[in-house]
Structure 1
Amino acid sequence: MIKNLVRGATALCLALSPLTLPSAAAAAPAAPAAAQVLNLADAVDLVPVADESRTGYTRDKFKHWNTGLDPADGCNTRAEVLQAEAVESPAVAAGCKLSGGTWFSYYDGQEVNDPAKLDIDHMVPLAESWDSGASNWDAKRREAYANDQDAAASLVAVTARTNRQKADQDPATWMPPLPDAHCRYIGEWTATKLRWNLAADQAEADALKVYAEACETTVVHYIPAP
């Protein structure tokens, strides 16, 4: 009798084990990427150097602005960045229409009180990202890049004038007009390149090294994009 009970219990455990004891590999979620903190010179050395090509680039290959971090709030990425970076928060009306508020455009040191006078700059412009590796991405990853609010450096609210002066240039040919902004800008440019594993051409890499020598105390923070 006892032997029969033992056999029955054993059979029951074997029958249930696939359900109650899933493999660790199947159950464990992927570990998030670790945050990286480097001085600027070391960070610049990690940016791969490669030739760039703009063949096939069009801006519409990067879907933006999308519905942002919270699709339920009715605001797109642009509006969410404006709200996040405001020194004084704007009023938000129906349809996520922003009015009032105050921003500081760090490229040129200007205070702005009208959201219509601001652009949301891609720290590494869309065309530059295409040249540097995004041409090999699928549409979903390019959309994630173009709307990246998970890293503070990726998108920045600045005066429309400076954003349009910058256009698609890298630091070899354009820097913010405010000299005091240069170290921050190079740090954020480098962080974005490393976050998205983007390369630099030789002229850009040379410029980054020159600025890194002048910005000895600048620290680069980034988390590799998923």
Structure 2
Amino acid sequence: MARRPRPVVLKAGCKRTGGSWHSAYDNVVVTDTARLDVDHFVPLVEVYDSEQAPWSAARREAYANDQAPPDTLIAVSAASNRSKSDKDPAEWLPSDGSYHCTYAATWVGTKLRWDLAVDENERQALLGLAEDCPTTTVVYEPAP
């Protein structure tokens, strides 16, 4: 049975008094915000390494705060985010194998959205994941 997060409940001053978040990387439900991180799906270091031409400070800020696609910034358990760190799919995949296809599609969609390059190891890892995910579709809209 899938574990579903509970709606977040706020009281005066935006203090959280209840609710939960589903961490897709490790299939964990987190109720303690101290055990939750908001992750850049494609880490900032990876973005800087993947720029096809140097970005302006404004473009870097736009990426860092991009909330248009739902997964560019994703709430995950702190443990899974620390495990991922600044690694690409050649170096790290979520511990929840059922999320690998979504992870790969979101990674590729984010790279395409922001016109980011992939290195050869990353490309090979993504091609291997694509072979395991024949019905997964990459969806993206170019960044403004």
Structure number with greater Rg is: 1
Distance 1:108 1:99 in 2: 24
Deviation of the 1:98 alpha carbon: 2.5
Find the counterpart in structure 2 of residue 165 from structure 1.
Answer: 83
Residue identity opposite 1:160 in structure 2: A
Q: 2:124 aligns with which of 206, 214, 217?
A: 206
Show the counterpart of 1:192.
110
Unpaired runs of at least 5, structure 2: none
Q: Which amino acid aligns with 1:218?
A: T
Q: Report Cα offsets for 1:102-136 as digits up to 9, x if no partner.
A: 11111111111122211011010000000000771
Partner of 2:136: 218
Greater RCO (Cα-Cα under 8 Å, separation 6 or more): 1
Structure 1: gaps (5+ residues): 1-85
- Could you tell me which amino acid in structure 1 is paired with residue 68 of structure 2? D
In the other structure, the counterpart of 1:124 is 42
Runs of 4+ in 1 over 2 A off after TM superposition: 86-89, 91-99
Task: Please say if 1:106 is aligned against 2:20.
Answer: no
Of 54, 60, 70 in structure 2, the residue corresponding to residue 152 of structure 1 is: 70
Alignment RMSD (CA, Å): 1.6
Report the residue type matching 1:174 in the other structure: W
Q: 2:95 aligns with which of 174, 177, 187?
A: 177
Specify the SS of the correspondent of 1:120.
strand
1:138 to 2:56 alignment: yes
State, as a whole percentage, how many aligned pairs show the same letter: 51
TM-score normalized by the length of structure 2: 0.91
Aligned residues: 141
What is the one-letter code of the residue matched to 1:108?
A: D
- TM (norm. structure 1) is 0.59
The 1:134–1:126 alpha-carbon spacing in structure 2 relative to 1, beyond 3 Å, is farther
**1:116-161 deviations in Å (ceiling 9; x for gaps):** 2110110100000000007711111111101111011201111000
Counterpart-to-counterpart distance in 2, 1:186 and 1:222: 13
Matches of 1:225 and 1:95 in 2, distance apart? 33
Query: 3-state DSSP class of the match of 2:37?
Result: strand
Q: Which has the higher helix share?
A: 1
